Amino acid sequence: MGSAELMLFTGLLLAGGAVYLFLSSLLAGKPGESQLSWASGTEPVKSKNGVINLCRPLVHQFTMQHASKIKSEKYRKKIRHLLKVGGLSSELNEDEFIGLQIFLGFAMPVFLLIMNFSLDLGFSPFMVIGLGFVGFFMPEMHCKGSKKNRELAVRIDMPFFIDLLALSVEAGLDFFGAIQKIVDKAEGQNSVLAEEFKIVLKDIKIGSSKTDALKELAARLDMQEMTSFVAVLIDAEATGASISQVLKDQSVQMRMERFVRAEKAGAQASQLILIPLMLFILPAVFIMVFGPVAVAAMYGGK
């Protein structure tokens, strides 16, 4: 890219930034009518994703009204599930999610078209269309990535948290009192599991039964370990079994499952390393070992 093209590219980026800042300031006082449809009536928390925070003012103004026209209950149910298991229900509602899909689905190919026209980059129409699909599915990919990160954090914390719960119950606290104690101790540590336990206590305080609060915990995390843990707790509560013993057994089982997963991951890694070994390392070894022999055989008699 020459200096003139680089200057043009920089100018376009600056112009785009200026237009964005102008529109953001112009629309700051005029949010869309359906921008916030949380049941609690509270505003969303600031997202950890910079793209969402950057696009939110424009989404509210230009695409929220179109998002509200999508009435497919099956599609909306899928979105609610994605937001719940991704831990993003406080950051996005379903209308915002759909609006973000529509906005990115149009904005990204339009940006590429402007760059292509201005700098004569020679991108094919298929690339532009493909970028539109990427933009449309970006919010869904963000939810799925957030879900994976939450699952990893919960799997790491669960054995330790369950041990603390067992010790607290043995010390005389009831199960939900033990949860409150752990949530207080974990304050400020940015623990996914502690935050989820905090929501459980909040649900109970506003009137949910203990069973329903635990089932909602399993639904939000949507992972086999937590589903089994909740099922065992509910069964122990119903049958009057010792909660502390149940917690100890669950802690041992979680650690065994984590050890099995580590072994499985190690076995998979040893298999995956065969690919670079065959493609890069072995050819280099063969060249080093047999190269001089081949050269001597070819030119040795001359």
Residue in the block written with tokens 């402007």: 114
Q: How is residue 192 annotated by DSSP?
A: H
Dump pLDDT digits (tens) for 111-156: 888 877 777 778 788 888 898 999 999 999 999 999 999 999 998 8
Q: What's the longest Cα–Cα distance across the chain?
A: 95
Residue-wise pLDDT tens digits, 31-43: 444 444 444 445 5
Which CATH architecture does the domain made up of 150-271 adopt? Up-down Bundle (1.20)
pLDDT single digits (tens) 48-99:
888 888 888 888 888 888 888 898 999 999 999 999 999 998 888 899 999 9
Q: Distance (Å, rounded) from C-alpha 256 to C-alpha 198?
A: 27
pTM assigned to the model: 0.74
Domain spans of the chain, in order of start: 3-25+45-145, 150-271
Provide the pLDDT confidence category of residue 23 given band limits of 50, 70 and 90. Answer: low
- Dihedral sign from CA coordinates of 220, 223, 224, 225: negative
DSSP for 89-130, written as a single string:
TTT--HHHHHHHHHHHHHHHHHHHHHHHHHHT----HHHHHH
| Helix pair angle (192-205, 125-170), 10° resolution | 70
Lowest mean pLDDT among 2-16, 24-38, 181-195: 24-38
